Amino acid sequence: MDLLIQQLINGLSLGALYALIAVGYTVVYGIVQLINFAHGEVFMMGAFGSYTTWMLMGSPTNLSIGVALGLVLPAMILGGVLVSVGTALLMERFAYRPLRNAPRLAPLISAIGLSIGLQEAVRLFYGQIPGFPDSRRAIPFPVIEGLTGRSIQVGGVTIQHSAIFTLGALLICAALLWWFVNKTRMGRAMQATSQDADTARLMGINVDKAIATAFAVGAALAAVAGVAHGLRYNNIDFQMGFMAGMKAFTAAVLGGIGNINGAVVGGLVLGIVEAMATTYIPGQFGSSAWKDVWAFAILILVLVFRPQGLLGAKVVDRA
Amino acid sequence: MSTLHEFLSRWAGPARWVGLGGAVLVMVAAFLPWAYLPAALDNVTYYGEPSILQWLGFALGFVTAACLVASPILAAKASPRTRRLLNLNRGATAAATASLVYQAIAAIAVALELGGLITLEPGAWLGVVGAAVAALATRALHAGSDARLRYLPTPAWAQILGIVVVLALVLVAAAYGLGLEDPGAFVAFGTFCGLAAWVLARVGIMGWISAAAAANRSALVLASFVVAFVFPFTQNGSDANMSIAAGVLIFAATAMGLNIVVGLAGLLDLGYIAFLGAGAFTAATLSESAFATLGWHPPFPIVMLIAGCVSALLGLLIGSPTLRVSGDYLAIVTLAFGEIFRITMNNLDGSDGPNITRGSNGIPAIPNLDVFGFNFGESHVIAGFDIGRFANYYWLLLLVLALIIVVFVNLNKSRIGRGWVAIREDERAAEAMGVNVFGLKLLAFAGGAFLAGVAGSVKAHVDVSVTPDQYVFMESAFLVAGIVLGGMGTVGGVLVGAAILKLLPEKLRFFEDYRLLLFGLLLIVMMRFRPEGLLPDQRRQLEFHAEDDELAEEADAQALPDLATAGAALSATKEDRA
């Protein structure tokens, strides 16, 4: 029983990470019906942004818990958000917006280009900044006192502090996002644009701005995920966006792409399934080497049997 | 820009003389040294003895001058019909601009290789300045209308002769370019080839060549195949270049298969490399290698078929569920499938799964092919020429590529191909018209996979070892990049794209580290400015430039070449009368 609860918690915290990234796919897809294939790289840029912020603060170590959690961590999150939002906005403006009326293959190929380009740019140039570590290898993520390496024991179950951080971040972000989408003018403009961009434009909504906002919102959450990823795995590297992005996309499809609640549910479900698969599938196929295969198998199964996802989505069929 | 042009066009008369002066300077510059030391380019340090690259610079200057001189003569003496066959003013502008680009690249290459502008000798400066003067002055010429040489009725033998000459030039250029050791020289030469093609297009000669090619398809195909076939003889038994050439052919064959899926049927497959990998692993496990895990060693032709079928089966397996959800989903699902393939190959190592692929070690020491007593590993002497291991495989790959091209072209022209294009353009409309959408998509997917499997079975033997990390997502992305670069849905485009993407990193080692970054940027820039690729399919070009009427007319003319020729001749005579 302890094992089940332990794996449930592991799965939830992993799933929260996926969910934070998945929201970015789903928000953008919902508004422009575009799979922002380079979203994984936005997540990676967020992680590197937060690391850069930490370096710029003079790489503080051995802080008191209060300073670490009250000052350093928020600053890192903010720095990561700035970088990832900037990346996403530039991407939208210069790579996607000119292709909005192009055949559907064009933005997708552009996105692959962006994805490769961003990874390589970080790999080649990040380490060239004087004083910064070699970005060709994994970079150890800063130790945040009170979070890194700490855990609490509840019965036979171990809960990492980073897991609590990730889940908490997901809760806060989801609440903020709900408020933003439903209660602010810009959020309602986004909803209107996603329903019918042409009519929204006729109603005086700045559609370009709404679309850019969707990219920015997704990027901000991805940056939070970037920090959570760094805390969870204790390092970051230029390739981290690829697999995480794929999993998050799977989560978005699982929940129903275009549906924000679906992205959150899909992320959590995917995380739990992955954790359970490595524990309960017997024999050689239960080893952790296969867990990515199971995640992608779920993606394919969902597309076969329930292409609209668990919670359903407004837009499913896009030829 | 337009005001500059208006200003210049008032000076069209004097500009011709100024341009001529610039062109002469370019020609003179070829006889002067360009660099201080012989290490840069192909030794451009002599007075009065131009190197080959300098002769090429001379040629561009000469073409500029010739166009400038001939244009007014033609205008004065020739009949209106003859006059409009070539557009020499446009040719002069293009040649002068090409000169400028070429001279500048040569100068930059020298400066980079020898360390600084100080290493440039007067010839380089004179060339750049002369070309700049000519390029600016020729902008003042009246551009005139499109050359009509392509509509000139030409006897078939002359057209075939033209095709043969062009292909012979291509062969010479390929042999020469591959032989260049110096990266600067390689870049300069590659740029020259591109510029020369562009100048020919502007003058109107390229139009004639493409019309000739369209009218004599079979001659073109035969001649290209012969040229590709004799290529190993130009290499004097050098296996280094042949291994590059074999790599290009593997890439081209795989990309051609992918082109059926992406270019014709419009299904973006981001896991295509997995099918190549499936073929390679099948061939490896069935090979005579001591590490092969299956005890069965059938002869290679059968292995080839099995490899193709295994890949096709995988294609069906992945295609049948996912092809129902169309579009963007498919791209991601195929990507996921590619990852599943790679991880599975890594895990079938005996500890995480049954031992089939030996995990990340892969299957090494795959022996050379021995088909009907012909051992591909041995060197042979044919007509006094040494033919090494890679040349043998090159020919085999050429056959595989030819097979794939034949399949591609025939499918493209068949009912199936038209069905695919209809699906690509509008799936619902196609379905409403009675096209079996799902069946055709599945056929494209499985067929493409089959061809990749066949190519993979050869690749296993060429590469000697097969490991999972040869079949990662980046390779799939490269294949897509090759197709996008060349032009989706065309044979020539894919060949050009494959050649560029494979040759550049092989020849430019210094650029190895940056190649991925550049390819990423290339994809973005191509999608932004020329999404139809370098050698586009007419129909696809239209798709991307729907508002361009001129292009639409041209496409119509291409679609019905005979009628168009007749019509154009008619309209030309009409205009002449008016």
Residue recorded with tokens 């040489």: B149
Report percent pLDDT > 90 for chain A. Answer: 45
Top residue of B261, B267, B328 to mutate, by most chain A CBs within 10 Å, is B328
pLDDT at A206: 93
Beta carbons of B130 and B26 less than 8 angstroms apart:
yes
CA distance B434 to B416: 12
**Under an 8 A CB cutoff, do B321 and A106 touch?**
no
Q: Give chain A positions within 8 Å (CB) of B519.
A: 113, 116
Q: Cα distance from A62 to chain B (closest Cα, Å)?
A: 38
pLDDT digits (tens, 9 = 90+) for A147-193: 887 888 888 888 888 899 999 999 999 999 999 999 999 999 999 99
3-state secondary structure of B375: strand
Q: Which of A99, A284, A307 sits opposite B352 (nearest CB)?
A: A284
Q: Which of A37, A119, A300 sits opposite B321 (nearest CB)?
A: A300
CA distance B389 to B383: 17
pLDDT at B539: 63
Rg of chain A (C-alpha set): 19
Top residue of B318, B320, B340 to mutate, by most chain A CBs within 10 Å, is B340
Residues 6+ apart with CB under 8 A from A66: none
CB pairs under 8 A between A and B: 151
Q: Give chain A positions within 8 Å (CB) of B523.
A: 109-110, 112-113, 116-117
Amino acid of residue B533: G
Residue recorded with tokens 């100068």: B107
Q: Which of B339, B521, B527 sits opposite A246 (nearest CB)?
A: B339
pLDDT: which is higher, A66 or A180 = A180
pLDDT digits (tens, 9 = 90+) for A193-214: 988 889 999 999 999 999 999 9
Burial of A261 (0-12, 13-18, 19+ CB in 10 A): middle
pLDDT at B237: 61
Q: Which of B336, B353, B520 sits opposite A120 (nearest CB)?
A: B520
Angle between helices B273-285 and B300-322 (to 10 degrees): 140
Residues 6+ apart with CB under 8 A from B347: A287, A289, A290, A293, B353, B359
CA B142 from centre of chain: 33
Residue recorded with tokens 């899926």: B261
**Under an 8 A CB cutoff, do B270 and A242 touch?**
no
Structural domain boundaries of chain B? 2-227, 237-534, 545-578
Using alpha carbons, select from B264, B453, B448, B291 the residue that is nearest to residue B361. Answer: B291
Residue recorded with tokens 């549906």: A259
**Under an 8 A CB cutoff, do B326 and A108 touch?**
no
pLDDT of A319 > 50? The answer is no
Beta carbons of A141 and A132 less than 8 angstroms apart:
no
Q: Which of B268, B336, B354 sits opposite A299 (nearest CB)?
A: B336
pLDDT at B10: 65
**Under an 8 A CB cutoff, do B527 and A107 touch?**
yes
Q: Give chain A positions within 8 Å (CB) of B536.
A: none
Query: What Å distances lie between residue B213 and B172, B174, B379, B538, B558, CA to CA?
Result: 19, 20, 36, 15, 12
Q: Which residue of A has its CA nearest to B473?
A: A242
Burial of B317 (0-12, 13-18, 19+ CB in 10 A): middle
CA distance B507 to B194: 17
Residue recorded with tokens 């597309």: A303
**Under an 8 A CB cutoff, do A98 and B528 touch?**
yes
Average pLDDT score over residue span A258-279: 88
User: What HEC string does B337-382 produce?
Assistant: HHHHHHHHHHHCECCCCCECCCHHHCECCCCCCEECCEECCCCEEE
pLDDT at B546: 58
Q: How many other C-beta atoms can be found within 10 angstroms of the C-beta atom of residue B462?
A: 23
Q: Give chain B positions within 8 Å (CB) of A121.
A: 517
**Under an 8 A CB cutoff, do B331 and A108 touch?**
yes
Burial of A87 (0-12, 13-18, 19+ CB in 10 A): buried
pLDDT at B332: 77
Q: Which residue of B has its CA nearest to A100?
A: B528
Q: Which residue of A has its CA nearest to B328?
A: A35
pLDDT tier, A316 (very low <50, low <70, confident <90, very high otherwise) = very low
Q: Give chain B positions within 8 Å (CB) of A110.
A: 523-524, 527-528
Most confident residue range from A141-145, A285-289, B5-9, B346-350 = A141-145
CA distance B289 to B280: 13
pLDDT tier, A90 (very low <50, low <70, confident <90, very high otherwise) = very high
Question: Mean pLDDT in runs of 10 for chain B (578 residues)?
Answer: 62 77 84 80 77 85 85 77 77 86 85 77 83 82 74 79 85 82 82 87 81 79 82 73 84 88 84 91 81 75 90 88 72 84 82 72 74 70 71 84 85 87 84 87 90 89 84 84 80 83 73 79 83 70 60 53 46 46
Top residue of B425, B523, B532 to mutate, by most chain A CBs within 10 Å, is B523
CATH C-level class of B237-534: mainly alpha
Query: Mean pLDDT of all residues in chain A?
Result: 87
Q: Cα distance from B387 to chain A (closest Cα, Å)?
A: 39
ipTM given for this complex = 0.85
Q: Give chain A positions within 8 Å (CB) of B326.
A: 317-319
